[in-house]
Structure 1
Amino acid sequence: MTTAQLRTLVRSGDLVQVRYGAYATRRAAAAAENNPRYAHALQVAAVRACVGRDVVGSHDSAALIHGFELLIQPSAEVVTLTCPRPKPRRTRATAGICFHRAELPDQHVARAYGTRVTTPARTVIDLARMVPFMEAVVAADSALRAGATTREELARVCEACARWPRIASARHAVAFSSPLAESALESCARVRFDAFGLEAPQLQVTIRGPGFVYRVDFCWEKHKTIAEADGLAKYTSRDDMLAQFRRDRLLRDAGYKVVHFTWRELFDTPEMVIVRIRKAMADPTPY
């Protein structure tokens, strides 16, 4: 294709520039408009076309494509790659790319949305070796919750990467992770509870009483104490709030103490959340 032909196709909209030197068809670009995972996969595919097919999307890029819930949302404009060879030299085509150099066994690579990325298990371990513990747990919990990987697969990747830097941090995150944490807020709360020395709670416990069956976020059964993580979208109407008040009343009538906390409380004043939970545990009567 000549430069003139390329320009004609771009002007007509049949080709859409994804990155410097890389283009997608009109159909592919349209499919990516309402699909952030596919849109980022196009970015990864475009970069791989420019710098080499042996590189794969990894770390944040692989997490975005696999659909993991992350504590800190990465920029969709930055592509993260792992290279099994020395990193490519910096050129105009590699702007906005974060390179890592590491081994890429075949069993650690998968295809997603038409491009090559690290498997969900390898992606979790790569992230867990680099980010703070809380962020690592959020990623691991999300991957397990979605059924994208298993604790056994995560353990196998850790074993394969046993001599890699900070693998002990990854092992710690894997050991702590749970598919029962239903949101990033719940994952963060578990890490906060542990950091303050609180007993590990049971997750997603079903409590039955006269005329009701409820599932609660955290439960310390021997203390008859429940903690609920209130996300931003939990109460979207007055009816939701009234239903929550009724739920709490029925749980208290059943002999449980109920403590609610929000994102802001967990991160701005975590010690106050812990104090309220400890107070509930120590109180012999529901409130």
Structure 2
Amino acid sequence: MSNTDTHTPPAIGTPLSVDALPPSDTPPEPDVAVERLAGRQQGRFTRGQVRDQAQGSHSMIASRIRSGRWRRITSRVLCLPGAPRDWVGDLWTARLHVGDDTVVSHRSAARLHGFPAVPRSVPCITVPAGSHRRYGAGRLFQRGDLPPGQIVRVDGLLVTSPARTLVDLAPGCSRARLEAWLDHATAERLVTPDELAEVLRLCSRPGKPSVATLRSLLEDYLPGGGVLQGNLERALARVVRSAGLPPGVPQFPHPGSRGRTEFCDRAWLQPQLIVECDGRRWHDRIAAARVDKRRDAAAAAEGWQTIRYGYEELVSRPDSVAEELRRIYQQRAVLLAGADREAAGI
């Protein structure tokens, strides 16, 4: 998934009165500022943004609406002609209408994260606790426990993280559907079992809706059904040190992710080498193996080699794994150095 630029456009000087605009094919500066802003928000913007970020007046807004240059979606949200009229556009409209301190959540977040078989629904938006805001075309959820670490940005929208989305959807969700979403999120590396367990811990308190089903499913991904991510990373770190290699970059953005939020367990930039470690039973499933094959092929298309080790290999034969990893690393380094010399005509 691709993220949009989030910087705030600079304020622009006071515009001319609408009636005093000189005849020109060049849009006045406030219109340019609004078009730039709308380009990051699915063609949408609010009256407040026009005033605050383009120094537009009430009369200017009214004039643009009358002329058809801008169109009214809600009492607060406007759009440019040709703005996408799709589901993502509806999310932008909902969030802009309700306020900048809100977050796309629940089923809407699940669809944005690519969870399978999420029924289409009205926009779901989480608002601050105690808020009395209303939005008739969507569902609003109040929150008092949504820290920054549980919020991510997807295509410019602030969205609950995959882990928090699973926790939010768990109450009242069928076991089969929740398991499918959990399998997808872990197989696609959107969330680790450790991360999900931590979010569950932070969200568990008296009066919180039950998440017993999710907690039960998570047990299959943790000790007894698999290996904690921290233990897996420590085992890999020991092997890397034994091999005498540079530490590499843990949780490196996957080179073939094409904008999606995906990471690999460890990577080295110079030899373009990735190491992935499997420590959970779900990696034996056909669906997960298919995802792994796709990830490896995507990395190869970008010039990276991927090697995979199971946790049992890292702990039962660390010396042989270290030697193998060292040899592959050295071969990759020599190969890429030769390619660089050839490209330079040396």
Structure 1 gap ranges (5+): 34-38, 179-199, 206-214, 217-287
TM-score scaled to structure 1, two decimals?
A: 0.51
Partner of 1:73: 119
**C-alpha offsets along residues 8-57 of structure 1, whole Å, 9 cap, x if unaligned?**
45x34xx4555553133357x24xx6xxxxx4443233222222222211
TM-score scaled to structure 2, two decimals?
A: 0.43
Partner of 2:127: 83
Distance (Å, rounded) in 2 between the aligned partners of 1:148 and 1:20: 36
Partner of 2:140: 99
Q: Aligned pair count? A: 170
Say which of 200, 204, 207 aligns to 1:158: 200
Say which of 121, 129, 136 aligns to 2:171: 129
Residue 203, structure 1, aligned to residue 261, structure 2: no
Contact (CA 8 Å) 2:171, 2:211: kept in 1 or not?
Answer: yes
Say which of 34, 42, 46 aligns to 2:93: 46
Distance (Å, rounded) in 2 between the aligned partners of 1:135 and 1:107: 25
Contact (CA 8 Å) 2:65, 2:72: kept in 1 or not?
Answer: no
**C-alpha offsets along residues 171-214 of structure 1, whole Å, 9 cap, x if unaligned?**
12333579xxxxxxxxxxxxxxxxxxxxx9x6229xxxxxxxxx
Say which of 106, 109, 115 aligns to 1:62: 109
Distance (Å, rounded) in 1 between the aligned partners of 2:99 and 2:90: 14
Distance (Å, rounded) in 2 between the aligned partners of 1:117 and 1:7: 30
What pairs up with 1:228-247 in 2 under 5 angstroms? none
Look up the equivalent residue of 1:154 and give its one-letter code: L
Report the identity percentage: 27
Runs of 4+ in 1 over 6 A off after TM superposition: none
Say which of 110, 121, 126 aligns to 2:152: 110
Per the alignment, in what secondary structure is the counterpart of residue 110 of structure 1? strand
| Bigger strand fraction | 1
Partner of 1:4: 62
What pairs up with 1:7-46 in 2 under 5 angstroms? 7-8=65-66, 11-12=68-69, 15=70, 17-19=72-74, 21-26=76-81, 29-30=83-84, 39-46=86-93
| Deviation, structure 1 residue 88 | 2.6
| Deviation, structure 1 residue 126 | 1.0
Per the alignment, in what secondary structure is the counterpart of residue 78 of structure 2? strand
Distance (Å, rounded) in 2 between the aligned partners of 1:100 and 1:141: 26
What pairs up with 1:175-194 in 2 under 5 angstroms? 175-176=219-220
Does the C-alpha gap of structure 1 residues 110 and 51 become closer, same or farther in structure 2, counting only changes over 3 Å? same
